[in-house]
């Protein structure tokens, strides 16, 4: 019997956001996520803990990113916002059940 062993590293790109993720900022996030995908990173964690506000345009950028990542064989996971005003849009649209959301970055980075 031959035994071959190896180790594999799974690379996960992380993006941490601060401030407001709204229509004004959504385009920039979309472009950033697109560039990660173009670079071959289809596993992305977006850290929303420091966001103060998210609207549906910001949500749309994350949803688009998630769909594109999943199409590429990966996923886009979130570290959940700590501010109520940033979490609200996910709850009202039920996207808190669609995204994989973790309370801590370490949890979002594990288990790929």
**Interaction site with other proteins (CB under 8 A):** 20, 22-24, 53, 55-57, 59-60, 63-64, 67, 84-85, 88-89, 92-95, 98
3-state secondary structure of 19: strand
User: Cβ closer to other proteins: 70 or 110?
Assistant: 70
Cα separation, 24 vs 44, whole angstroms: 22
Listed in sequence order, the residues at least 6 apart from 78 whose beta carbon sits closer than 8 Å to its beta carbon are 45, 46, 47, 48, 62, 99, 100, 101, 102, 108
User: Cβ closer to other proteins: 59 or 78?
Assistant: 59
User: Cβ closer to other proteins: 20 or 41?
Assistant: 20
Q: How far is the CB of 19 from other proteins (least distance, A)?
A: 10
Q: How far is the CB of 92 from other proteins (least distance, A)?
A: 5
User: Cβ closer to other proteins: 93 or 110?
Assistant: 93
Q: How far is the CB of 52 from other proteins (least distance, A)?
A: 10
Q: How far is the CB of 49 from other proteins (least distance, A)?
A: 17
Contact (CB, 8 A) for 109 and 13: no
Tell me the two tokens of residue 107: 């949890």
Cα separation, 41 vs 35, whole angstroms: 9
């Amino acid at each position: 019997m031959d035994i071959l062993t190896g180790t594999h590293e799974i690379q996960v790109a992380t993006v941490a956001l601060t401030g407001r993720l709204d229509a004004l900022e959504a385009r920039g996030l979309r472009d950033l996520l697109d560039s990660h995908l173009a670079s071959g990173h289809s596993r992305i964690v977006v850290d929303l803990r420091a966001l103060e506000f998210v609207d549906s345009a910001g949500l749309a950028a994350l949803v688009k990113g998630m769909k594109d990542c999943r199409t590429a064989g990966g996923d886009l996971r979130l570290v959940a916002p700590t501010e109520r005003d940033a979490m609200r849009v996910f709850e009202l649209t039920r996207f808190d059940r669609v995204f994989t959301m973790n309370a801590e970055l370490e949890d979002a980075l594990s288990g790929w």
